[in-house]
Each structure stands twice: as structure tokens, then as C-alpha cells.
Amino acid sequence: MIKPDFEKMNGLVPAIAQDAETGEVLMMAYMNEEAWNKTLETGDAHYWSRSRNTLWHKGGTSGHVQKIKSIKIDCDEDTLVLLVDQIGGAACHKGYRSCFYREIKDGEVIECSPIVFDPKEVYK
């Protein structure tokens, strides 16, 4: 079994969620050992919320959960790529398919990911 080196980065490792079918990068969050273990135990992505200082079940409030298809770990054992099935179509808490919904193209900022839901309706 592989296991991230949580000690290297003060208990947290970056975890990049990527659509398992398309390869689209959906989001980046952090995992601590508790989130890692819960993810392995449940098959749903769990992260560590730095702003709330608590374990976070992705989609626990919105229903937009991430079902783990596979997990990749880098050679230094300090970064993860989660290949996921994004239930409900949105990974971003602002309602977009991807947290990376903006890009700079030809010197202009454009939205490059569709909005899937209205956050005001979901997070009441």
C-alpha cells in the first residue's frame, strides 16, 4: 500500500482531483492523514479544510461528491492525483464544473468551465 509522507509538509499534502474519464482538472485541495484514511475507507474524496480547520467530505452539503476511481502518488510521496467520478457535475463551491473556471487567453480573462448550479440555492 502507498501512503503519502504527511510529515514532510506539516501534515498536509496537495490532492489534485481530476475527472477520471476526460482528464479535466477539477480542483486542488489538501489531505491530512485523517482525510486520506477516510477516503480509502469510504471511496469518496475527503479533504482537510484549512479555512474551517476540519475534515471535509467533498459534496457532503451540496451532494456533488467525488467517487474515487484511482489515486496516483508522485515519486516524492507528497502530492496526490485523485481520478474521480464527479457526481452532480460540479466540483467548485461557486457552482462551476471546475474550480479552474477562468483562464487567460490572448491577454484576456475568459470563463472556460460551465456553471452547473447556483451556490445561493445550494448553500443556504
Do the annotations mark residue 78 as ligand-binding?
yes
Do the annotations mark residue 118 as ligand-binding?
no
HSE (side-chain half, CA atoms, 13 Å) at 120? 0
Do the annotations mark residue 112 as ligand-binding?
no
Do the annotations mark residue 74 as ligand-binding?
yes
For strands 46-49 and 54-57, give the pairing: antiparallel
Residue in 107, 117, 119, 89 with CA at minimum distance from that of residue 26: 89
Do the annotations mark residue 76 as ligand-binding?
yes
Residues making up the annotated binding site for Mg(2+) are 74, 76, 78
Residues making up the annotated binding site are 74-76, 78, 92, 99
Residues making up the annotated binding site for Zn(2+) are 75, 92, 99
